[in-house]
Structure 1
């Protein structure tokens, strides 16, 4: 049967259209691919490579296979993917719907580098902006269309000629890399995936699921429910063991350190509105594990585990309600240095900013080939990229007049608006717990460094409010069974006013021997201390009551090669202060302003102790007050006011009175064999030499006048009565003064002093109970004699063997 000519023509036309349709759908993508590759630099200033583009004429699925946008060097990939497909159903346009579905992308790769204010894509933006400027300069009658700022997604959708439907959007196995080459940081997100079942522009929630892994450790999953009509959103964030080591380059601007590691986990929900981000409510739990900060010295700070439970955090309301703060296994150290600085002063000093990225992260500057998607068409092995450089602009970079006018309006509007008054802080911690914590203290400011460890530190608190006074308790352990208990009462809003009670028990004193050496030159061998302190602080003014109770404290012999800060006779001082049970107890009130640079709580207590020791020990024969049951009065003797024996430095002999007083002092040793008497001879050599010269001239004058060669005691008495103003004597001095050699006299004086020591020692050794161990008779050192200005004497001190 032959077809009629009109029918035949119709079929031929339809067939031709079908052939053209299929040809266009099959050949068009190939042409588009070729055009994009050949003209990519004209379009964006970069090379683009595409393996294949195809469009299924039956399913209307557009496939793009292996696309890569190159860096400016045409060697390194900037953006790439292995596969992209999208289904656009044109038949749905008949019903007024633009239906886009099954948007799929596999192995998305994005590599972004930053150096200061420039990015590796800044040249693309400059290129496009330059083309824009040239175009509008050539077509001034055209105006750049303004963005639909201020319109909601629903309003934008309502203005479209068709209804928009977006469904089944999936990105999988992506790699996103960000590097800051100036700072030296690198973040690599692996297995980056997005799943969006449907996008709703009307009043309905769009769900977005995002998951990824961090190349350095950790993974993140985020679920977002966002209403594009109201801008309300809910974000559910689950971060698991994110490796904090990757933030090390950013720490250089804040601290000086050697290494940092740890893990961050978070299970957080955020509910809010895009138009008021600061009003969002945050709730959930944040966990830090294995925090380890290594200082330049090699010492470490950190914690095993920190958990913060957040009930509500709202920046706009200035409200932070914390369910719990739990710190487990924290550790720290405090180093004190002679320049009044601590290790924290060193730690909180930013590292030098003069480093280049190569200095701090040379190993991170290159992206390896396995981080980028496979390219089956060309060898695109990644190589180090040059730092992004500004591209020269050939034309004016004009901004549209409408945007400038909008900016001016916004500035004027902002100028009229007054800043909102900050809301009062609402802060509360329902539960605070610090456990299994220790702190090590090292003091380098003293002669021999002091090192001490405070362990088993526990801090507990309930209902800790910012404005309301609350209670916080602290407990800790000291070496060898010592303990600390501290109670704090006050409000966090006013740390200038608080009450603190401190109780220390069974503190083993030998660990503090280096302090005793530094301040007194005596090492502590044994003893324990109990300390109670009640401190009331009102507007930084301290009123403190302190009780010190020391048991069985024992010090060793004074270390001669240490020049102590205080000259304290520790042995005798402690001996006198001890009661019959070997205890010392006294109170130390402390008052002062904490902001006074001269104020030091510890120094006040130490100085009080030192003054007390000096007071009772420097003059053991005239104790004042009822300091203890021991002492001179308890030993049953009274030596009057003076603990000294005056002498005549120009003679080798002693008077009966001088012998008697020295002998009387030995009665102390007869009462207690633990004591030791030290007679130290003092005189001024220069002054004594002058007196000795005058005395020798008187002797020679007396001999000559009375024609005598030998003298007796009566003669010496007569010599003492000769007046220096006597005219005959003055004449004799004028004539014979030069005959007495000064150097001879300076040699004679030490011999006379030694002879006095020998004579006194001989007499005192003859007394009952006196031995070589409990009696010393010595001459003060040469420097002490040279600076001595008092009368010649033996100063008598008491020590303990």
Structure 2
């Protein structure tokens, strides 16, 4: 019974299905062939065509681990794919690829893919020194120039195929890029420096992709740079008629160090740390190359000099709540920028160059390059709503001085108002910081950031600076160190159309000079005397130093301008010290430095006593000053009075010897006539007194029969002759000169209320005056340091 049933079933198959005369048979054959071809032949064909195309058209080796197709679900799986370049360097590959085509593609005449999944996609690109890349070289080698031209013409005339991808997803992708950078400072045959960048964990998701014009579709992209940083985009993408991308873009802690080799093409720096974070709306299309609007921050930036390990510029954080970049309109706008923990180091080297000035890489001259000037490009319009700075630290060093100098401004904080390149309104500046250990610095003013020499007003205030720290500058300026003292400095500068007009107020407290040092640039200045003149009784020196110049002149040197201003101020004081002292007390500046005496006299006339009182007052205001007095004398001017004094002394002595008591003896008085005749005869023994009297006796006349003797004229003649007979020695002249100096010293010292110390007045050797004009001989005073 069982055997019979099987036989019947076999007959049924032969008659109903296996008979070539029936349609069912051929349908069954087609199904079997479709299944065999779909599952077994098609994978082999796909793999064969792909490998041979890569070999014949591109000259590259393509390896495929496996290909699987399912003719019923219209799916393709291609796993373990690797395409190598000619040097066996992998160009691209993936782990798994799944393509799922919809059956509706046959009906709708549109290539519609339900899903495309690709896992572990690997793309490795490299740019060579010539500028070409591995993929551009691959495309160029795929066909000759003519074939490429024909292909391009066909592509232009052909319509884009109808295509739709409902769901595309890329996971675990990796993009590696190697860049061979030429060393711009080295010879042409030098080996290039290779830079490697890698983006990993790439995820890409596209929904409802189509090639229709003006059709946009959701796109998500994310990835992570191997050397630091994450990228993400969530928005829409349009392919036709021109690519357009719009959506939220995010860069999270992108490490700047990856860009260091590119920065070093232009600047001699090391980019040690620093991360960039951006979050906002991004767009790009045919009309807008790129636009971004969102927040931005740069954190832990640290830029060092290439030649050493010293920090050049950096900060803890820099952020703004709104950063707008528009390439089409060339505009950059930001909300206030907040900078925390700024650090900077400014160095003046021995050759007067600065560390910032040496940053730009010196490239060899390009003798083959085009000498025509490139067209000027329109600059970006920049608007920054303000800058807020806190906890900054600026280091400054000057190695060009005989003594190396360095200082710092720390805990620097402040703000700058809106900066705009499109406005003529300058920005307001306000900063404050601590200098070294106990100093204070304040900056206020306005400045046009893009045209600082056109419109700038800056007020800088320094308080309680320790002057010994600035000895390197005084050595370079005047060849002296500073031993002690503090300084307050007010700098008021205005620059208008490149013309500088400034007022500097320098206040020095308890300044003490130190040792001398050699300096080729030092000015020959008597600093000890200048300080003694300028320093008041409280140990304060107050100087106003005007400065001016043309900052647009290439020869303008601000340091030289300041040095010249200080030098001129000191010279004006030390070359006219008594004018300076007179100004202190409101006296006549032309007469303060001299004291006048009548001929042969040592006493002070009332106007001279007033002059000395003013001088004493001025000296009390300048306790470090001392006076040098050299008594004056002149033979022709002083001798007549001295001879008269000497004749009087001779008369007094004669009267005393004779026992005559004359209360007020006089050379011409009647009571002194006998003594004067005796003195006269001792000097002129050959002259008879009777004969001399006859000269002064009038003979009898018709009107009078008596002789008339002019006794007064006779006595005057005796006095003149006795005076003329006296001899004055040079020592006697010097003695009166010294007496004059002592008189001035006593007037300065011996005053109970305002007398100065006796050791501040020094009497020098008498000075002979060549000639005397007028009725007074003048003693020229000299100031010196105590």
Alpha-carbon distance, 1:123 to partner:
7.9
Query: Which position in structure 2 is the counterpart of 1:284?
Result: 295
Contact 2:338/2:388 (8 A) holds in 1: yes
Shift of 1:128: 4.2
**Alignment of 1:66 onto 2:73:** no
The aligned counterpart of 1:184 is 194
1:323 counterpart (331, 335, 340) = 335
The corresponding residue for 2:359 is 347
Aligned to 2:411: 456
Residue 457 of structure 1 and its aligned partner are, at CA, apart by 2.0
Contact residue 259 and residue 295 of structure 1 kept, 8 A: no
How far apart, CA to CA, are the structure 2 residues paired with 1:257 and 1:662? 74
Secondary structure class of the residue paired with 2:153: coil
Could you tell me how far 1:464 is from its partner in structure 2? 3.3
TM-score w.r.t. length of structure 2:
0.67
Equivalent of residue 223 in structure 1, options 234, 239, 244? 234
Displacement, 1:76? 3.0
Corresponding residue for 1:518?
476
Matches within 5 A, 1:769-780: none
Q: CA deviation at 1:613?
A: 3.2
Other structure's SS at 1:276 match? coil
Correspondence for 1:165: 164
The structural deviation recorded for 1:564 is 6.3
Question: In the superposition, relative to structure 1, how do residues 39 and 662 fare at CA in structure 2: closer, same or farther (>3 Å)?
Answer: farther
TM-superposition CA deviations, 1:35-90 (whole Å, max 9, x none): 543563212111111111110122111000101111203x3322111111101123
Match of 1:604 among 529, 538, 561: 561
The answer (yes or no) to whether the contact 2:387–2:415 under 8 Å persists in 1 is yes
Q: Report the structure number with the largest CA radius of gyration.
A: 2
SS at match of 1:42: helix
Assess if the C-alpha contact under 8 Å between 2:489 and 2:506 holds in 1.
Answer: yes
Residue 200 of structure 2 is aligned to residue 193 of structure 1: no
Structure 1 counterpart of 2:541, from 584, 591, 595: 584
Counterpart CA distance in 2 for 1:192 and 1:576 is 78
Q: In structure 2, what is the Cα distance between the partners aligned to 1:4 and 1:306?
A: 81
The answer for the alignment partner of 1:98 in structure 2 is 111
TM-aligned CA deviation for residue 98 of structure 1: 2.6
Structure 1: segments with no counterpart, 5+ residues: 137-142, 152-159, 355-418, 642-654, 672-773, 778-795
| Deviation of 1:541 (Å) | 0.5
Residues 261, 291 of structure 1: 8 Å contact kept: yes
Distance 2:733 2:523 in 1: 32
Return the alpha-carbon distance in structure 1 between the equivalents of residues 624 and 508 of structure 2: 22
Q: Deviation per CA, 1:299-336, whole angstroms, max 9, x where unpaired?
A: 11211111134353323333322112111111111111
Distance 1:148 1:325, change over 3 A: farther
Q: State the 1:485 CA deviation.
A: 1.7
Q: 1:524: Cα distance to partner?
A: 0.9
With over 3 angstroms needed to count, the CA separation of the structure-2 counterparts of 1:102 and 1:576, relative to structure 1, is same
- Please say if 1:480 is aligned against 2:441: no
SS in 2 for 1:287: strand
Normalising by structure 1, we get a TM-score of: 0.65
CA shift, 1:281, in A, is: 5.2
Q: Deviations over 1:222-248 (max 9, x none)?
A: 123124467554132111111111112
Contact 2:318 2:338 (8 Å CA) reproduced = yes
Q: Which runs of 5+ in 2 are unaligned?
A: 1-13, 181-191, 367-373, 585-619, 634-729, 747-758, 763-780
1:530-541 superposed matches below 5 A: 530-541=488-499
CA shift, 1:593, in A, is 0.8
Which among 88, 97, 100 is matched to residue 101 of structure 2? 88
Within 5 Å, which residues of 2 pair with 1:702-741?
A: none
Query: What is the DSSP-based 3-state SS (H/G/I as helix, E as strand, rest coil) of the residue aligned with 1:515?
Result: helix
Greater relative contact order (CA < 8 Å, ≥ 6 in sequence): 1
1:792 corresponds in structure 2 to none
1:528 to 486, 493, 501: 486
Q: Hey, what does 1:543 align to over in structure 2?
A: 501
2:512 to 554, 563, 582: 554
What is the CA deviation profile of residues 694-720 of structure 1, one whole-angstrom value per residue up to 9, with x for unaligned ones?
xxxxxxxxxxxxxxxxxxxxxxxxxxx
* 1:97–1:305 CA distance, 2 compared to 1 (3 A): same
Match of 1:630 among 597, 622, 644: 622
Aligned partners of 1:150 and 1:546: how far apart in 2? 77
Tell me the secondary structure at the aligned position of residue 49 of structure 1: strand
**SS of residue in 2 equivalent to 1:14:** helix
Please tell me whether the aligned partners of residues 185 and 247 of structure 1 are also in contact (alpha carbons under 8 angstroms).
Answer: no
Cα distance change of structure 1 residues 484 and 144 upon mapping to structure 2, 3 Å threshold: same
Aligned partner of 2:457 in structure 1 is 499
Q: CA separation in 2, counterparts of 1:661 and 1:347?
A: 74
CA deviations on 1:379-401 (whole Å, 9 max, x unpaired) are xxxxxxxxxxxxxxxxxxxxxxx
CA distance in 2, matches of 1:636, 1:4: 144
Alignment partner for residue 258 of structure 2, among 232, 246, 271?
246
User: For residue 705 of structure 2, what is the aligned residue in structure 1?
Assistant: none
**Aligned to 1:248, what secondary structure does the other structure show?**
helix
1:444 has 2:399 as partner: yes
Check 1:633–1:220 CA distance in 2 against 1; reply closer, same or farther (3 A cut).
closer
Cα distance in 2 for partners of 1:668, 1:460 equals: 64
1:52 to 66, 70, 88: 66
Spell out, residue by residue over 1:166-195, the C-alpha distance to the aligned partner (whole angstroms, 9 max, x if none).
Answer: 111111111111111234211111111211
The alpha-carbon deviation at position 606 of structure 1 amounts to 3.0
Which whole-Å deviations, capped at 9, do the CAs of 1:571-604 have from their partners, x for residues lacking one? Answer: 2321121112211112111121112344333433
CA distance in 2, matches of 1:563, 1:145: 74
2:51 counterpart residue number: 37
Aligned equivalents of 1:288, 1:248: Cα separation in 2:
16
Alpha-carbon distance in structure 1 between the residues aligned to 2:430 and 2:157: 53
Cα displacement (A) at 1:512 = 0.5
Partner of 2:173: 174
Cα deviation, residue 29, structure 1: 1.1
Distance of 2:35 and 2:739 partners within structure 1: 132
Shift of 1:537: 1.6
1-side partners of 2:289 and 2:744: how far apart?
A: 82
- Aligned 8 A contact 1:85 1:103 in 2: yes
How many residue pairs get matched?
590
**CA–CA distance in 1 between the matches of 2:198 and 2:365?**
24
Change (3 A) 1:61 1:249: same
The question of 1:508 aligning with 2:483 is answered: no
> Is the contact made by 1:285 and 1:309 (CA closer than 8 Å) also made in structure 2?
yes
Question: 2:492, 2:503 within 8 Å by CA — same for their partners in 1?
Answer: yes
Q: CA deviation at 1:442?
A: 1.1
CA offsets per residue over residues 493-521 of structure 1, 9 Å max, x none?
54312222222222221110122223223
Alpha-carbon distance in 1 for matches of 2:396, 2:79: 64
Which stretch shows the higher mean deviation, 279-288 or 219-228? 279-288
Deviation at 1:664, TM superposition (A): 9.2
Is 2:446 the partner of 1:489? yes
